[in-house]
Structure 1
Amino acid sequence: MSQDVQGPAHPSGEPETHRAADTTDTAGRTDTPDAEPEATRRDAGTTESSRANRSWWDRNADEYQHDHGVFLGDDRFVWGPEGLDEEDAALLGPQESLKGLDVLEIGAGAAQCSRWLAARGARPVALDLSHRQLQHALRIGGGLPLVEADAGALPFRDGSFDLACSAYGAVPFVADPVAVFTEVRRVLRPGGRWVFSVTHPIRWAFPDEPGPEGLSVSASYFDRTPYVEQDEEGRAVYVEHHRTIGDRVRDVVAGGFRLVDLVEPEWPAWNAQEWGGWSPLRGNLIPGTAIFVCARD
C-alpha cells in the first residue's frame, strides 16, 4: 500500500486498497495498471465517482465473481457478507406476495438476487453500472432483462416498478445518494418498497482488517471525506462514500421515502468465512451491514 490510509469494509473483499487485476476489458483491450493505486481520503464528485467505479468493477468483476460466486450462488438473495438471506428475512415482503410484481434490482452485479426473485414469480430487471458484471449475468443465464445504467439516471418511466432493491449495489459508491433515492422513488409506484444494504457506517471508524487489529478505532466516525484510490496522475480509480447512520436516515427522507425498518444483521454461527474486513471475530462484536427498508407513500 502506498499510504497508511484505512478504507471502509467494502464488498470487493480487498482490504484497504484494491489491486486491479490484469484483465481484458469488454472491447478486447488489456488493462494492466503500472502500479498499485494510492489510497487516500479526498473529495470526489458525482462524475469522478461514477467513472472510477464503472472502470473498477469492469476490471475486477472476474475476480469478484470467482472469489465470491460460491457464497453468492447463482440464484440466491443474500443481503451481505453475514449471509442474511431474503429467503428468511422477507424484507421485501412475504414470498407469496412477490408473484407478478415488477422489481428493479440496482447494482445487480451478476443478477443473483434477480434470479431468486424470478423463481418466485416476480418480474425483475437487473441494472448495473458495470458492463463486465452484466456479462457475468449473461454467462450464468436465466433470460433476465439486463440494463447498463447509472443509478442516478434510471432509464425507466415514472411508476414502472412495485419494488426496488439493492444488496451493496450503487449506494455506497455514489456522491449524491439523495439523487439516487429520488430517482428510485420516481420509478416506483405508490406503496412501493425500496430496500438497500450498505456497509454499516460504524465500520468507517475501524481498520478494514478481519483480525484483532480491526477492533481498534483508527478514524473519526464523523469524517465524511470519501475514500479514494487514485493512479500516479491523481485520477480516481475507485471511490467509496461515507455517511453516518443519521445521514442515511436523512437522505432516505430527503429522497421522498419513509423509513420502515433498519436491520443490522448479527453474525451467524454457521458462517466461518472472512470477506475483506468481515469475519466471525468482528461480526460477533460490531455490525458490518446496515439494511434500510423504505416505503414510497
Structure 2
Amino acid sequence: MSGNYNPAEPDPLADAGYREVPDAEGGAAGRGWWDANAEEYLDEHGAFLGPADFVWCPEGLREEDAGLLGDVTGRRVLEVGAGAAQCARWLGTRGAHVVATDVSHGMLAGGLRYDAAEGTRTPLVQADARALPFAADSFDVAFTAFGAIPFVPDAERVHAEVARVLRPGGRWVFAVTHPLRWAFPDDPSAHGLTATRSYFDRRPYVETGASGRVLYAEYHRTVGDHVAELTGAGFLLERLVEPDWPAGHERVWGGWGPVRGARLPGTAIFVTRLR
C-alpha cells in the first residue's frame, strides 16, 4: 500500500482482476466498500428486496415460499451480514426474536431508515462476523443471504463463531454465489456462458485503488471447500439448494439474469444444523 494514501481523499479504481492479496487487507476491505456504496446499492436493489421482505437471492427465492429456516415463531434468530436488515425485519413480523448484524455502518444506517419508514424497531449491531459479540448458545437459528462469507479470506472463522453462538442442534443457513459461476465471466449475457477460468483457481477478485489500497475483495470457494469449512466447525449439511431461474423473471442483477439463469446455477444455499 502506498504510504501517501489519505483516507479523506477519493481513491479511484486503478485495477481489477483475480490475484492474491494479503489476507488482512482483503478481509478488511469490505467494511469501507459497503460504507461507501450502501446508498447506491439500496437505491438500485431496494425495490426488489423490499424494506421488510426475505429474498434469498437474485433468482427471487423468498423464505415465505422456501421455508429454509423452519418455524421461527418464538425463536431467537441471528442475521449475519444483514445489510439493511430487510430479512430480519420480515422475520420479526413472523414472531421471531431477531438480531441483525453487519460490519458496515452505512448499511445499518439504511436499516434505521427502513425502520423509521416501516414503523418497526429491528435490533441492529455493528460487528464483524468473525467476532460476534454474543454469548455462547444465544440463538436457535442463524442465517445470511450473501453476507460476510464471500468477503473474507477466512470464512471458517465465520462458521466457528456461528457455531459458538448457536445452541446445539441450531440451524445455520447461508446463500452465496454458486461456486461454479467463478469459472465463467461475470456477464449475464450469452458471453457469460463460456468458461474462461479454472473452477479450482481460488484467487480472489480484487479491486485496487490508485493508492495501491485494496478497495474490494471477494473470495471463491469450491463446493468442497464450503463443505469442509462447515463440517470443520461442527455443522451437518442437510440440503444444498440451487434455485432455478423462474419463468418470466427478467431482472438483471450483475452477472445474474434470465439468459445465464436458464443454463447455469447462480446461487447456492447451504442448509445446515449444528451437531
CA RMSD of aligned residues (A): 1.3
C-alpha distance in 2 between matches for 1:83 and 1:118: 20
Count of paired positions: 265
Counterpart of 1:69 (choices 30, 46, 49) is 46
| Residue equivalent to 1:101 | 75
Q: Which runs of 5+ in 1 are unaligned?
A: 1-28
* Matching of residues 1-297 of structure 1 within 5 Å: 32-33=10-11, 35-93=12-70, 97-141=71-115, 142-297=120-275
Paired residues of 2:206 and 2:215 also in contact (CA < 8 A): yes
The SS at the match of 2:79 is: strand
After superposition, give the CA deviation of every residue in 1:42-82 in whole Å (9 maximum; x if it has no partner). 22344312321100000000000000000000111111000
Deviation at 1:31, TM superposition (A): 5.5
C-alpha distance in 2 between matches for 1:140 and 1:31: 30
C-alpha distance in 1 between matches for 2:68 and 2:135: 25
Paired residues of 1:37 and 1:237 also in contact (CA < 8 A): no
Paired residue type of 1:273: R
Paired residues of 2:173 and 2:271 also in contact (CA < 8 A): yes
Q: Which runs of 4+ in 1 moved over 3 A?
A: 29-33
| Aligned sequence identity (%) | 55
Deviation at 1:174, TM superposition (A): 1.0
Paired residues of 2:13 and 2:210 also in contact (CA < 8 A): no
C-alpha distance in 1 between matches for 2:176 and 2:240: 11
Paired residues of 1:45 and 1:175 also in contact (CA < 8 A): no
The SS at the match of 2:13 is: coil
After superposition, give the CA deviation of every residue in 1:87-139 in whole Å (9 maximum; x if it has no partner). 0000001xxx2111111100100100001110000011010010000000000
Alpha carbons of 1:164 and 1:46: their partners in 2 closer, same or farther (altered >3 Å)?
farther
| TM-score with structure 2 setting the length | 0.94
The SS at the match of 1:193 is: strand
Q: Which runs of 5+ in 2 are unaligned?
A: 1-6
C-alpha distance in 2 between matches for 1:165 and 1:112: 13
After superposition, give the CA deviation of every residue in 1:189-217 in whole Å (9 maximum; x if it has no partner). 01100000000001111011111111111
Paired residue type of 1:201: P
